[in-house]
């Protein structure tokens, strides 16, 4: 497996495999990999000849006071995990390689970036859209793989790729959960033992909503209220948002008609976790 | 020569010539071609195996009250001119092909986009950066060619390409002028006979500044004042801006040390013309 630290190294690797007629899949990550990331790698391996994993904790998608400095990093462990998974190259640049002095360009996706994490984390999705545009231009993959845990991010990247005429297929892969239901996240390592238990309220409240919809509930306000009440039953949980929005435009809904996204962001101590499910009306 | 109206058509053309191992040059234009555009085409022919000219009056780079509706268009005449010049394909999409319903992405280049035409025409350079990103992703040229008449645009596109890691060489080509000194522009057709004569004050004032610098003048305020006075000696001329800024960052200067850009925007009746020269200190 190749470990590329510079744009030039990864470009030269991709150019050489392309020259052999091979297809290239990219799995963009911020590292500290868990089975959710590895499911993206497996899907990429299944669909592309060569797989590149990027590992870059992107400073521009963190706001002031967020966890950019403390975000967990362990490149050596990550490299072992993806090598075992059959990845062909890691692209792990330093921040200065991605944002050299004088850097001044940004990419914005209006609309889909505005609610949910866009409202809670101003500038977050501008950072995401900009770094993903860069990674796509650097690696020029045929396909790129993203987890549905960041459902809004997936919608944003699909919109970005279509709007800017990038010739890349975006593949989204289901959330991977721990045995007890907690969605895999690099940020789960922040949780104290008590918060780790309390965080099960996320997947429990999603299940509750799915069950209510299966029983015929279509009223969005009532559904949200039940989810909020469920989360509030856990005293360690502090809600950032609970929303039910249309797919793919993330607009407000009164009644479930088509599929809709139920998305949660909840704090446990200093740790903000997100989770979501699609409600099938 | 191929006339492509859709993204798919021009992509398929470029894919086929790339498959033959040919290099591709792109000349992005808004059409109504003049010898300035053709000098870009000649440079592209000289440096690339295959040349694509895009002709697209991009609505998003025009502000409210600007001349998007009336901007001169003549695709048939343009097609004849570029066919004679040996161009291989025209990409001339409709606005709806470039901006289908739901389009919501924009690309911004801070800094270099802010003074000069960025200050006079809010949103203009966001429109330029976005459409150029799209055109580059659609055509995927090896090189792209731009005229120095839009000097700020050239700086912006070089910054954009570097920041977003686009693997495209940007080539800028000198201003082409009429025999009497007027810089070629599609907007020159708007000028009345009197304004056409009056507009010579632009190139005359640039020559004056170059002469003053050659004689040793280094004080930016004095240089600007002489240029302003020269332009004001023409009663039909109404100054939008006269600026002398550093290259490539377009920062304010007190004294000429290195090369600097002298840039003008002046109205004659309803017609706004730009011109510029590099002052070599």
Among B126, B149, B173, identify where a domain stops: B173
Same domain, A37 and A146: yes
Of B37, B42, B124, B249, the active-site residue reads B37
Residues A212 and A257 in one domain: yes
Long-range CB contacts (< 8 A, 24+ apart) of B223-231? B223/B256, B223/B262, B223/B279, B227/B262, B227/B264, B230/B201, B230/B204, B230/B205, B231/B201, B231/B202, B231/B205, B231/B264, B231/B266
Taking the C-alpha atoms of residue A165 and residue B138, their distance in angstroms, rounded to an integer, is: 6
Q: Would residue B178 count as lying in a domain?
A: no
Residue A180, domain member (yes or no): no
To the question of whether residue A143 is assigned a binding role by annotation, the answer is no
Q: Where residue A263 sits, what CATH number does that domain have?
A: 3.30.1300.10
Interface test with B, best of A15, A105, A110, A162 (most B CBs within 10 A): A105
ipTM above 0.95, yes or no: yes
Note the pLDDT tens digit of each residue in B21-66.
Answer: 999 999 999 999 999 999 999 999 999 999 999 999 999 999 999 9
Q: What CATH number has the domain bearing residue B108? A: 3.40.50.620
Helix axes of B200-214 and B220-232: crossing angle, nearest 10 degrees: 150
Q: How far apart are CA A4 and CA A90, in angstroms?
A: 6
Residue A179 falls inside a structural domain: no
Residues A212 and A168 in one domain: no
Domain boundary among A119, A141, A173: A173
CB atoms within 10 A of CB A87: 23
B27, two tokens: 């000349």
Domain boundary pick from B132, B147, B173: B173
| Residue A134 touches partner B, C-beta closer than 8 Å | yes
The number of domains in chain A is 2
Q: Quick one: pLDDT band at residue B87, thresholds 50, 70, 90?
A: very high
- Inter-residue contact A260 to A253 (CB < 8 Å): yes
Residues A6 and A101 in one domain: yes
Which residues 11-40 on chain B approach chain A with CB closer than 8 angstroms? Answer: 11
Q: What is the pLDDT of residues A232-277, one digit of tens each?
A: 999 999 999 999 999 999 999 999 999 999 999 999 999 999 999 9
The reply to whether A103 and A239 lie within a common domain is no
Whether residues A148 and A226 share a domain: the answer is: no
* A178 within a domain of the structure (yes/no): no
Residue A154 near chain B (CB below 8 Å)? no
Confidence of residue B250 (pLDDT cuts 50, 70, 90): very high
> Would you say B99 is a known binding-site residue?
no
First vs last Cα of chain A: how many Å apart?
A: 45
Please write the tens of the pLDDT for every residue from B219-246: 999 999 999 999 999 999 999 999 999 9
In a domain, A228, yes or no: yes
Same domain, B6 and B135: yes
> What is the predicted pLDDT for the residue at A50?
98
A249 is catalytic: no
**Is B113 annotated as contributing to ligand binding?**
no
Characterize the bridge pairing of strands B50-55 and A271-279. Answer: unpaired
pLDDT of residue B281: 87
Residue A100: how many other CB atoms lie within 10 Å: 10
Q: Are residues B143 and B250 in the same domain?
A: no
The answer as to whether A151 is a domain residue is: yes
Domain residue limits at A203: 186-279
Q: How big is the A-B interface in CB pairs under 8 Å?
A: 76
- Taking an 8 Å cut-off on Cβ atoms, the answer to whether A107 and B109 are in contact is no
């Amino acid at each position: 497996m190749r470990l590329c630290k510079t744009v030039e190294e990864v470009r030269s690797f991709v150019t050489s495999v392309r020259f052999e007629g091979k297809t290239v899949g990219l799995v963009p990550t911020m590292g500290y990999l868990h089975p959710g990331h590895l499911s993206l790698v497996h899907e990429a391996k299944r669909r592309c000849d060569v797989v590149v994993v990027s590992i870059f904790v992107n400073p521009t998608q963190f706001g002031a006071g967020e966890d950019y400095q403390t975000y967990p990093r362990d490149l050596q462990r990550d490299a072992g995990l993806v090598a075992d998974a059959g990845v062909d190259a890691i692209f792990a640049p330093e921040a200065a390689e991605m944002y050299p002095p004088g850097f001044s360009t940004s990419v914005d996706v209006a609309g889909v970036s505005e609610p949910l994490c866009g409202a809670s984390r101003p500038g977050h999705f501008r950072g995401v859209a900009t770094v993903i545009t860069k990674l796509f231009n650097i690696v020029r993959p045929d396909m790129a793989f993203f987890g549905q845990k960041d459902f809004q991010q997936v919608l944003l990247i699909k919109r970005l790729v279509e709007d800017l005429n990038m010739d890349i297929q975006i593949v989204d892969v289901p959330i991977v959960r721990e045995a007890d239901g907690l969605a895999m996240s690099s940020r789960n390592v922040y949780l104290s033992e008590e918060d780790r238990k309390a965080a099960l309220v996320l997947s429990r409240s999603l299940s509750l909503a799915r069950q209510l919809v299966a029983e015929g509930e279509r009223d969005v306000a009532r559904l949200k209220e039940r989810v909020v009440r469920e989360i509030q039953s856990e005293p360690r949980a502090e809600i950032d948002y609970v929303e039910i929005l249309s797919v793919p435009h993330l607009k407000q809904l009164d009644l479930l008609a088509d599929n809709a996204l139920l998305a949660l962001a909840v704090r446990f101590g200093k740790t903000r976790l997100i989770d979501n499910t699609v409600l099938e009306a």
